[in-house]
Amino acid sequence: MSRFIGLSALLLALAAVPAGAEPQKLPVTVTNASERLADCAVLIDGRIKYYVKIKPGDAWTDSFQTIRELKLVCERSREYFFGPLKLGGAYRIFEVKRWLEIEPA
> What is the per-residue pLDDT for 3?
53
> What is the per-residue pLDDT for 10?
52
> What is the per-residue pLDDT for 21?
76
Domain boundaries, the chain: 23-104
In CATH terms, the fold of domain 23-104 is Immunoglobulin-like (2.60.40)
pTM: 0.78
pLDDT tens for the chain, 105 residues long, are: 455 555 565 555 555 555 567 789 999 999 999 999 999 999 999 999 999 999 999 999 999 999 999 999 999 999 999 999 999 999 999 999 999 999 999
> What is the per-residue pLDDT for 104?
96
Determine the length of the chain.
Answer: 105
Give residues with Cβ within 8 angstroms of 83, minimum separation 6: 43, 69, 70, 71, 72
* DSSP count for the chain of H helices, then E strands: 1, 8
